[in-house]
Amino acid sequence: MEEKSVEYQQRLTKLEDLRKAGVNPYPNDFKPSAECAQVLKDFGELTKEDLEAKNISLSIAGRIMAIRDFGKASFIQVKDRTGRLQAYIKKEIVGEEAYSLFKAMDMGDIIGLEGALFRTRTNELTVEAKRLRLLAKGLHPLPEKWHGLTDIEARYRQRYLDLMVNPEVKDVFLKRTAIVKYLRDFLCSRDFIEVETPMLQPIAGGAAAKPFKTFHNALGMELCLRIAPELYLKRLVVGGLERVFEINRNFRNEGISTQHNPEFTMLEFYQSYATYEDLMDLTEEMISSLVQEVHGAKKIDYQGTALDFTPPWQRITVKEAVLKYSKAPEEIFTDRDKALKFSKELGLNIPEGLSHGKIITEIFEAAAEHRFIQPTFVTQYPVDVSPLSRKNEKDPSLVDRFELLVMGREIANAFSELNDPVDQKERFLSQLKEKAAGDVEAHEMDEDFVKALEYGMPPTAGEGIGIDRLVMILTNSPSIRDVILFPQLKR
């Protein structure tokens, strides 16, 4: 359909005319000597007279974002990856032939030009072109210059257009890159080493989620896209890589929302001879310094809410949180029936065979989780929702685990790792029972992982940080789709 548009047909004709005239509309031998932002920075202070005296010659390349045509002379805006610079094309200077070539150029074309800097009457730093070349013809008209591209579906499906015309979108993704780099550097500076572990796994372990399934033809076996790298990273810890991390994609075959994309990016790291408490300290330092670095302050605005990442952050147990934010009697923590009864008072629809710990977790999520707007570590989760975590020394119904909540959302999840192979095997077995009882997200048995633990894993703490959600908060983005270049869409 769109190929029939008048603009497209006109540009196709221009393309053919250029080829007939012996001009290659897609050459690749132009090397710009300068970039827009650097030119503005280096020469932005020079006066009209300075520029005339120095006669600074340079060449730039980029996309034509605006054309203001005066007949025998034109102003254009050229945009490269660094910014925009104005250029002036004058028939008298470039010559008859080049000017008619220029007249055939359109908004959105990629061009290269060279000339000297000067200042216009309105004092704008401008390149006065002596020569110009078409570097790539664009066949589609650009979105509107003032409103840009606002249709949200078009922005996701044609992200290149979104990036081209909406500068704040590019800023978000540059920031995302900066955030990932900062985290990577932070961990490397503490002697963590970055690794890559399988995306295709015979058993999708390390989290409670539905996997995507696929099939390897040559091996004749079913494989899953990973839902977490956890079990492989811990195998590496067994192997003696005492500090490891991975920043990579996880895949979960579940719903899509402003907080969920089927593939999302997770930072997972493991540190031997550390506890979950050590990781709270590390996380506080890593993320608060990240916020400072990326944002220039530890206080930020997120969708109208002031967030303060200045350490220390609140630390509270699941039990304390439930008691604080609901009218739950304390006995719910020791008596499953009382917990079940209270969950019904909250209007929760709890399936029959649900374990005590899961009921407590449900109550916590319904009554308290959303209350934690400022960065908060919630600790001491029930053992039956944490099949890979180390049990608490004093209370074996709990595990040494925390979740970091910001805006009531889980940003990170960490625990002291379970390294007792016998206990781990029992936990897997009890997960199998839950699976048999109908819990589709219960953890699979992974004998090979248990075997690795049987060789001895040093006491270790590990953590996962949801990068997309962290980026959302640091870029003030309301939807996860705003921080993923190509979010999942239908068809």
Partner RNA sequence: GAGCCGCUAGCUCAGGUGGUAGAGCAUCUGCCUUUUAAGCAGGUGGCCCCGGGUUCGAGUCCCGGGCGGCUCACCA
Pairwise CA distance, residues 425 & 452, whole Å: 12
The least distance separating RNA from the CB of residue 335, rounded to whole angstroms, comes to 23
Contact set for RNA, span 179-218 (CB under 7 A) = 207-209
User: Is residue 71 part of the contact set for RNA (CB under 7 A)?
Assistant: yes
The least distance separating RNA from the CB of residue 100, rounded to whole angstroms, comes to 11
Among positions 355, 468, 470, 473, the unique one binding RNA when judged by CB under 7 A? 468
Contact set for RNA, span 253-272 (CB under 7 A) = 254-255, 257-262, 264
Pairwise CA distance, residues 52 & 46, whole Å: 10
**Letter string b/e over residues 323-340, b meaning 16 or more CB atoms within 10 A of that residue's CB:** bebbebeeebbeeeebbb
Contact set for RNA, span 318-377 (CB under 7 A) = 365
Contact set for RNA, span 139-168 (CB under 7 A) = 140-154, 156
Among positions 41, 47, 54, 70, the unique one binding RNA when judged by CB under 7 A? 70
Contact set for RNA, span 406-425 (CB under 7 A) = 409-411, 413
Q: Is 197 in contact with 231 (CB distance < 8 Å)?
A: no
The least distance separating RNA from the CB of residue 419, rounded to whole angstroms, comes to 22
Nearest to residue 137, comparing CAs of 37, 29, 2, 10? 10
What is the per-residue binding string for RNA in 108-137, x denoting contact by CB under 7 A?
A: ----------x-xxxxx-x-----------
Pairwise CA distance, residues 146 & 412, whole Å: 40
For RNA (CB under 7 A), the number of binding residues is 76
Q: Is 106 in contact with 14 (CB distance < 8 Å)?
A: yes
No. of helices (H) and no. of strands (E), the chain: 16, 18
The least distance separating RNA from the CB of residue 4, rounded to whole angstroms, comes to 7
**For residue 215, what are its two tokens?**
């099939």
What is the per-residue binding string for RNA in 422-461, x denoting contact by CB under 7 A?
A: -------------------x--------------------
The least distance separating RNA from the CB of residue 392, rounded to whole angstroms, comes to 20
The residues, any chain, with a CB within 8 Å of residue 72's CB and separated by 6 or more, are: 90, 91, 92, 99
What is the per-residue binding string for RNA in 76-95, x denoting contact by CB under 7 A?
A: ----------x-x-xxx---
The least distance separating RNA from the CB of residue 342, rounded to whole angstroms, comes to 16
The least distance separating RNA from the CB of residue 94, rounded to whole angstroms, comes to 11
The residues, any chain, with a CB within 8 Å of residue 52's CB and separated by 6 or more, are: 118
Pairwise CA distance, residues 10 & 301, whole Å: 47
